[in-house]
A = this chain, B = another copy of it.
């Protein structure tokens, strides 16, 4: 199912600035039993990301209506929302009166998610580096060529995700996920002030750890640091939490704190 500005449609204008420049933002999350999971958080991120781009975020009521249309047709699916700056004349200058384009799409829930949650995943270490751009760091915008090139680096079925570093050599994220490590009982996650996407599940994990008394450090992490951690995992709103069992020649066992966090996430989502 595809909705464009609330109406069933499979097309956007060729003049849309989302296509021309990637001038927009997006979110991806599950709908389960007709309920968009962690929806308030997703909308809050969408609104914040729109604000960073100085883009008028559609009102919650409009997107609530889209969610209702979708949940009736597809109670269990992956929802993707794209908000663009809408149509514009040629040229980078912002249109005087831009009307954002609101696209809502559904996709099937992937079948391998739970398997990876239970058995863990192997990571590929990506050769392409993330460029450092503080003005866009954290934002889930539509300029995602680095992620596309990173994901194209491997095709092995047994590798579920790629690990990305920035051009300064700091570990930042997966191609589609945020990264966490546990070292001596402390939860570590990379700073996202210079690049990377700050996801809803990342925020939730940080909050859950904090509320259960686990120390959390948002910090610079190098590959050598990462190879010395006790537990490692990646998260996003669709996959939940996948333990990492291998990166390069390093291997990890499934960790106890990782498993604990999986249960807390499940509870928080009302699974």
Which of A86-94, A219-227, A251-259 is the contact stretch?
Answer: A86-94
Q: Given A14-B4, A14-B12, A15-B105, do A21 and B142 touch, yes or no (CB 8 Å)?
A: yes
**Which single member of B15, B129, B135, B176 contacts A128 (CB below 8 Å)?**
B135
Q: Given A80-B90, A133-B131, A152-B54, do A19 and B12 touch, yes or no (CB 8 Å)?
A: yes
Q: Does A113 sit within 8 A of B, measured CB to CB?
A: no
Give the nearest-CB partner of A92 in chain B. Answer: B151
Q: Does A13 sit within 8 A of B, measured CB to CB?
A: yes
Distance between Cα atoms of A16 and B13 in the complex (Å): 12
| Interface bracket on A | 35 or more
**Which single member of B53, B90, B93, B144 contacts A143 (CB below 8 Å)?**
B144
Contact across chains for B20 and A93 when beta carbons are under 8 A apart? no
Give the nearest-CB partner of A23 in chain B. Answer: B148
Distance between Cα atoms of A145 and B108 in the complex (Å): 30
Distance between Cα atoms of A22 and B128 in the complex (Å): 17
Q: Does A103 sit within 8 A of B, measured CB to CB?
A: yes
Distance between Cα atoms of A28 and B133 in the complex (Å): 26
Contact across chains for A167 and B133 when beta carbons are under 8 A apart? yes
Contact across chains for A78 and B90 when beta carbons are under 8 A apart? yes
Within the oligomer, what is the number of copies of this chain? 2
Distance between Cα atoms of A12 and B11 in the complex (Å): 5
Q: Which residues of B contact A44 (CB under 8 A)?
A: none
Q: Which residues of B contact A26 (CB under 8 A)?
A: 20
Distance between Cα atoms of A9 and B22 in the complex (Å): 21
Contact across chains for A144 and B21 when beta carbons are under 8 A apart? yes
Q: Which residues of B contact A151 (CB under 8 A)?
A: 91-94
Q: Does A34 sit within 8 A of B, measured CB to CB?
A: no
Give the nearest-CB partner of A155 in chain B. Answer: B93
Chain A residues close to B by CB (< 8 Å): 2, 4, 9-23, 26, 28, 53-54, 78, 80, 82, 84, 89-94, 103, 105, 107, 128-129, 131-133, 135-136, 141-152, 167, 175-176, 195
